[in-house]
Each structure stands twice: as structure tokens, then as C-alpha cells.
């Protein structure tokens, strides 16, 4: 009998009904996240992208500067997770990127989620260490996780220049995969003068100018963020995009026909949201509108799971929460907006549009 035949199991146990498959998956969920984070951080997918052929574990371990044994186990797990392909020719094993890995996990891809993965690994994962405290206390955990005061939310998030750029890269990267969907969820072509409040890196501003050839967009954000955006994200050559430095809770807002609030309201309490929306209503041209871009919870809060988890993340990281379309409509109504509609995009972020009477 050949050796390989001896290894064939003679008896396969039927899966017992009592095996708690889902709970086992949940217990181990973070092992999957960490395997992905580490593979990205070591540059496994970038090394494979740079090679014309599939590579052995030894070649990959040398290229990323890691132990052979550790790399072999990491690559095996990546094949189990179906983000790497495993090839075997004449007993020699090699690995290559799957299409998904090439598109989303390599640093240089236009659809890269590398920066999002990096922030999840280096910041969100550490904050979530204190999830139990966050739930008990009902507040964010910057003091415990990073030793910074959480008195001013964005001073905590932007606790150093490096952290500011990392947060901006996180914000930027998701719009690679769903920016177009949120700016085209409604026909925004009637609005020529657009102001993106808390516009950050300018990723959504770019999607607006691409989708609507007649509009101009002002990116409104804190002075330091505007500085970083000019330095790292927006090249000066775009005639239709401009910047405005300010504090949207304190300073006067530029007049516009449409205000975009993407992932702003979920950072703040209902009271602060209404305060901000009232300021927008006052500055808005009659006949203008506000576009709220957020991940919407189902009306009864029953899902989607990702949004429910994001709401926990807002507890750990901000002063806000994720909300339902009805809850956003209530905030918009309290500030004076009417004719409020929402659109689910089928991806993570959705859109809510409210109008100011002409
Ligand atoms: N809209 C962007 C997006 O969806 O990718 C960024 C969302 S980020 C969660 C919140 C943004 O609001 C950051 O760019 C932050 O700098 C900005 N921001 C926070 N407080 C602000 C304030 N008081 N005035 C102006 N911008 C503020
Ligand atoms: C914020 C958005 C995010 C503030 C902090 C944040 C995100 C992560 N940290 O406005 C993006 C959404 N992702 C999650 C996991 O919530």
C-alpha cells in the first residue's frame, strides 16, 4: 500500500447536531482578522504582485523578512481563507494572489483597502480591547487605549500628525469601492455649488466632480486637516475643488446649494447633530439640500450586522452611533429640512437627502 493511501481516513464522524458551529466561528473571528492584518503588514500580497510567477514559501519569507516556519503557516491560513491560491507541481508548493487579493489587498491597487486594514490593525483593534469598559461606561476609550484625553473627540483621534494621516487614509480608502454609489444614489445634478462638510481627504469631492461635470465642491474641514489634504491627497490642478478651513460647530458655513455630511452625524449625539443641521439649514440656499451619507440600520434595528458592529465601534471610538433612516429623518426635520428621502445602495454606505423649501 502506498504511503498516501494509508493517510486516507477510514472513518468520518457525522457532524453532531450539537456542534455550535456559529459560536465557534465567532470565538475565533479575530484570528481571521489578525491573519489578514499580518499578511498585509508584512507585504505578502505586494511581493506576489511584483512577481511574474507564483512563489514558494521560502521565497516569500525572504522577500518579507520573516521566518520560514511562520511564513509557511501564515500562507497556509491565507489559502484556507481563500485569499491566496496554492499550486503544487512535481511536489513543489507555491503561492499566488487570488483576484480579490490583487484588487483589494495590494498597496498600489486603485481599489486598495490596505490603509483601512492598517487602521483596523493599529487603532481599532486596540480600542476594542476596551469594548467591555465602553459598554459599561457608555463612552469612548481613548484615555485607556492611548492615554489621551477624550474631551475633544477629534483632538483624541488626531493625537499626532501620523495618526491624522492614518485616519485620513482610512476615510479615503472606503470611497475607492463605494464612493460613486453614494454620490449617484440621488440625482444631484441640479446642485452646482456643493460644500462637503468634514470633507477630509477630498475623496467624495472627487467622486462628485467626476459624476457631475457642472458642479464645484468646497471641502470644509479643520485647518490642520485641510493642510494635510493638500499635502497628501488633492493635487492643486483640480480647478473645481477648493478648500475652506473652519470649525463647523463654531464658524460661519460657506453658502451652498448642497451640503454633504458623510460619516459626520454618526460621530455625534442627537443634540450636536441637530445643532449642526440647524447651522446648515441657515446657510443653505432656498431650494437647496443636505445629503447625509451613513450606514443605515434597519428600521427595527435588526441589522445589517456590519452596521450594528459599526455602532459598537462608534461607542468605542466616538460620541455617536449608527442610526435608522427614521432617526436621521427626525434629526433633519428638527432642523427644518423637508421632503426627506433615503436610498439604500446595497453596499455599506447609504444616502439620505433632505430639502430646504425654495
Ligand atoms: N466625510 C469624510 C468621509 O466620510 O470620508 C470624513 C469623515 S470623518 C469621520 C469626520 C470628518 O469631520 C473629519 O475629516 C474631521 O476632521 C471633520 N471634523 C470633525 N470635527 C470638525 C469640526 N468641528 N469642524 C470641521 N470639520 C470637523
Ligand atoms: C468615524 C468613522 C470611523 C470615526 C471613527 C471611525 C470608522 C472607523 N473608525 O466617523 C469607519 C467605519 N468603520 C467602523 C469599523 O466603524
Span 58-72, pLDDT tens digits: 999 999 999 999 999
Phi, psi of 97 (to 5 degrees): -70, 140
> Which residues does residue 221 pair with via DSSP β-bridges, in sequence order?
245
Residue 336 DSSP symbol: T
Q: How far apart are CA 127 and CA 145, in angstroms?
A: 6
Do residues 244 and 180 lie in contact, with contact meaning Cβ atoms separated by under 8 Å? no
Q: How far apart are CA 78 and CA 76, in angstroms?
A: 5
pLDDT tens, position by position, 173-229: 999 999 999 999 999 999 999 999 999 999 999 999 999 999 999 999 999 999 999
Query: Does 266 participate in catalysis according to the annotation?
Result: yes
Ligand closest to 321 (CA) is: 2
Q: Half-sphere exposure (CA, 13 Å, Cβ side) for 276?
A: 22
Q: Which residue reads 441637530 in cell numbers?
A: 274
Tell me what pLDDT residue 18 has: 85
Q: How far apart are CA 338 and CA 58, in angstroms?
A: 63
C-beta 200 within 6 A of ligand 1: yes
Cell of 164: 491624522
Tell me what pLDDT residue 356 has: 98
13 vs 30, residue with greater confidence: 30
Q: How far apart are CA 210 and CA 214, in angstroms?
A: 9
Sign of CA dihedral 147, 149, 150, 155: negative
Question: What is the C-alpha radius of gyration for the chain, rounded to an integer number of angstroms?
Answer: 24
Q: Half-sphere exposure (CA, 13 Å, Cβ side) for 174?
A: 19
Q: How far apart are CA 357 and CA 336, in angstroms?
A: 9
| Residue from 118, 123, 263 whose mutation best tests the ligand 2 pocket (most atoms within 8 A of CB) | 263
> Which of 183, 191, 179 is CA-nearest to residue 355?
191
Residue 236 to residues 110, 187, 213, 229, 242: CA-CA distances in angstroms? 20, 27, 18, 11, 9
1 falls in which pLDDT band (50, 70, 90)?
low
Q: Which helix (H) or strand (E) covers residue 293, if one does?
A: strand 284-294
| Residue from 200, 218, 251 whose mutation best tests the ligand 1 pocket (most atoms within 8 A of CB) | 200
Phi, psi of 207 (to 5 degrees): -60, -35
Long-range contacts of 63-72 (CB under 8 A, 24+ apart): 66/42
Domains and CATH numbers, the chain: 21-104 (1.10.10.10), 179-355 (3.40.50.150)
Tell me what pLDDT residue 323 has: 98
Tell me what pLDDT residue 32 has: 98
Q: How far apart are CA 277 and CA 335, in angstroms?
A: 6
Tell me which residue has its CA closest to atom 14 in ligand 2: 310
Tell me which residue has its CA closest to atom 27 in ligand 1: 198
Tell me what pLDDT residue 168 has: 98
Tell me what pLDDT residue 15 has: 64
Largest CA distance in the chain: 86
46 falls in which pLDDT band (50, 70, 90)?
very high
> Which of 203, 192, 356 is CA-nearest to residue 293?
203
Residue 4 pLDDT exceeds 70? no
Measured in whole angstroms, the distance separating CA 239 from the mean position of its chain's CA atoms is 28
Sign of CA dihedral 331, 332, 338, 340: negative
Tell me which residue has its CA closest to atom 12 in ligand 2: 310
Q: How far apart are CA 329 and CA 333, in angstroms?
A: 6
Residue 299 pLDDT exceeds 70? yes
Pocket of ligand 2 (CB under 6 A): 124, 263, 266-267, 310, 313, 317-318
| pTM, to two decimals | 0.94
> Which of 84, 52, 117 is CA-nearest to residue 72?
84
| Residue from 266, 294, 314 whose mutation best tests the ligand 2 pocket (most atoms within 8 A of CB) | 314
Cell of 100: 480579490
Residue 254 DSSP symbol: P
Q: Which residue reads 477648493 in cell numbers?
A: 242
pLDDT tens, position by position, 258-298: 999 999 999 999 999 999 999 999 999 999 999 999 999 99
Residue 54 DSSP symbol: -
Tell me what pLDDT residue 72 has: 98
- Which of the residues 172, 207, 244, 266 is marked catalytic? 266
Amino acid at each position: 500500500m502506498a504511503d498516501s493511501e494509508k493517510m486516507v481516513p477510514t472513518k468520518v464522524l457525522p457532524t453532531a447536531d450539537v456542534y455550535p458551529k456559529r459560536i465557534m466561528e465567532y470565538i475565533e473571528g479575530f484570528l481571521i482578522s489578525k491573519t489578514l492584518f499580518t499578511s498585509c503588514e508584512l507585504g505578502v500580497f505586494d511581493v506576489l504582485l511584483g512577481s511574474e510567477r507564483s512563489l514558494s514559501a521560502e521565497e516569500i519569507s525572504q522577500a518579507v523578512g520573516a521566518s520560514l516556519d511562520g511564513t509557511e503557516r501564515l500562507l497556509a491560513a491565507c489559502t484556507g481563507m481563500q485569499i491566496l491560491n496554492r499550486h503544487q507541481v512535481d511536489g513543489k508548493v507555491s503561492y499566488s494572489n487570488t483576484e480579490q487579493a490583487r484588487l483589494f489587498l495590494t498597496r498600489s491597487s486603485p481599489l486598495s483597502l490596505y490603509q483601512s486594514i492598517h487602521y483596523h490593525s493599529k487603532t481599532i483593534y486596540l480600542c476594542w480591547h476596551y469594548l467591555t469598559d465602553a459598554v459599561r461606561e457608555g463612552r469612548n476609550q481613548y484615555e485607556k487605549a492611548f492615554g489621551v484625553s477624550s474631551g475633544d473627540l477629534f483632538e483624541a483621534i488626531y493625537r499626532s500628525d501620523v495618526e491624522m494621516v492614518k485616519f485620513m487614509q482610512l476615510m479615503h480608502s472606503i470611497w475607492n469601492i463605494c464612493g460613486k454609489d453614494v454620490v449617484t444614489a440621488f440625482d444631484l445634478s441640479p446642485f452646482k455649488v456643493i460644500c462637503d462638510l468634514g470633507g477630509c481627504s477630498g475623496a467624495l469631492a472627487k467622486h462628485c466632480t467626476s459624476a457631475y461635470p457642472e458642479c464645484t465642491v468646497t471641502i470644509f474641514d479643520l485647518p490642520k486637516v485641510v493642510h494635510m489634504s493638500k499635502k497628501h491627497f488633492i493635487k492643486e490642478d483640480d480647478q473645481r475643488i477648493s478648500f475652506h478651513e473652519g470649525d463647523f460647530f463654531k464658524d460661519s458655513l460657506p453658502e451652498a446649494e448642497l451640503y454633504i455630511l458623510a460619516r459626520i452625524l454618526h460621530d455625534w449625539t442627537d443634540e450636536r447633530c441637530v445643532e449642526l443641521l440647524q447651522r446648515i439649514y441657515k446657510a443653505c440656499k432656498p431650494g437647496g439640500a443636505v445629503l447625509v451619507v451613513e450606514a443605515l440600520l434597519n428600521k427595527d434595528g435588526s441589522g445589517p450586522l456590519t452596521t450594528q458592529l459599526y455602532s459598537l465601534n462608534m461607542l468605542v471610538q466616538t460620541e455617536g452611533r449608527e442610526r435608522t433612516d427614521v432617526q436621521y429623518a427626525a434629526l433633519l426635520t428638527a432642523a427644518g429640512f423637508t421632503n426627506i428621502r433615503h436610498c439604500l445602495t446595497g453596499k455599506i454606505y447609504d444616502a439620505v437627502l433632505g430639502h430646504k423649501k425654495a
